[in-house]
Amino acid sequence: MAVVSSEKTKELTRAQFIKLSGIVYRESGIVLNEKKYNLLMARLVRRMRKTKISSVSDYIRLLSDNNDEFNEFIDEVTTNHTFFFRENQHIEFLVNTLDNNKPLKIWCAASSSGEEAFSIAVQLLEYSFKFSIFASDISDTMLKKCRKAVYPVQRVKNVPRSILYKYFQKGKNRWKNYVRVKPEVRQHVQFAKYNLLSDKPFDTYDIIFCRNVMIYFDLRTRKNVVNALCRSLNPGGYFFTGLSENIHGLEHGLKTVLPGGYRKP
């Protein structure tokens, strides 16, 4: 395996790569194969700079001694890319299909920085649904962003203007390129840390979104995650995955209702 850093101490040997990718896999389920060597290296170097540690072996030692740094490292290697109204056909399907008189309990199970949960919330509010959303993620950094609910304007470029004006506050002065989700939307969404791999669901839901995270998992992890989530889905409830993910071949007993959309009989 090639060495990518000029500094000898920042070399990541094959054994260290295997060790670190094993840590990531066991903690998050994310598979970092050898094609992800540069990605892991880049993110590792970032953490080493932050912690002012110059050798990979010292950093690996720190990971086993320091729980905070362990969490920071897992945060660093997760991919958090998301934006408002991403793969919005799932939400359009819900508002067109469901009765807005029946209160909905929704779980957004890998919510990253919150855009997905708030996209769901503003549209359900727009169509006068009664609902609560539990939004979770493995990353503390992302959960902080969720709770702040402040986003650069580029993240909301897919949000229709009428919804933007109604449910978002425009920043002023140094925040002029940011928007904040209004409190009347935020009050419908609760955020908490939840690891899809190791935590046990504490409630049941009418709708579960688990989108654009299972692409990073192997088949065994996908199977376990889907089984656990399906157990917390109420009969007749809906389950959504990302459009490029597929849960075919897993024994989940769900009926496909649209691409990436399933219903529990």
Ligand X SMILES: C[S@@+](CC[C@H](N)C(=O)[O-])C[C@H]1O[C@@H](n2cnc3c(N)ncnc32)[C@H](O)[C@@H]1O
201 makes contact with ligand X (CB under 6 A): no
Encoded one letter per residue, x for contact with ligand X by CB under 6 A and - for no contact, window 94-123 reads ----------------xxx---x-------
Q: Which stretch binds ligand X (CB under 6 A): 62-70, 168-176, 189-197, 227-235?
A: 189-197
Q: 137 an active-site residue?
A: yes
With CB under 6 A as the rule, give the number of residues binding ligand X. Answer: 24
Q: d(Cα 9, Cα 122) in Å, to the nearest integer?
A: 49
Indicate which single residue of 142, 146, 156, 208 sits in contact with ligand X (rule: CB under 6 A). 142
Q: How far is the CB of 235 from ligand X (least distance, A)?
A: 24
159 makes contact with ligand X (CB under 6 A): no
Q: 263 an active-site residue?
A: no
169 makes contact with ligand X (CB under 6 A): no
- Chain positions 52 to 81 lying near ligand X, rule: CB under 6 A, are 78-81
Indicate which single residue of 195, 224, 232, 246 sits in contact with ligand X (rule: CB under 6 A). 195
Angle of CA points 64, 73, 201, to nearest 5°: 90
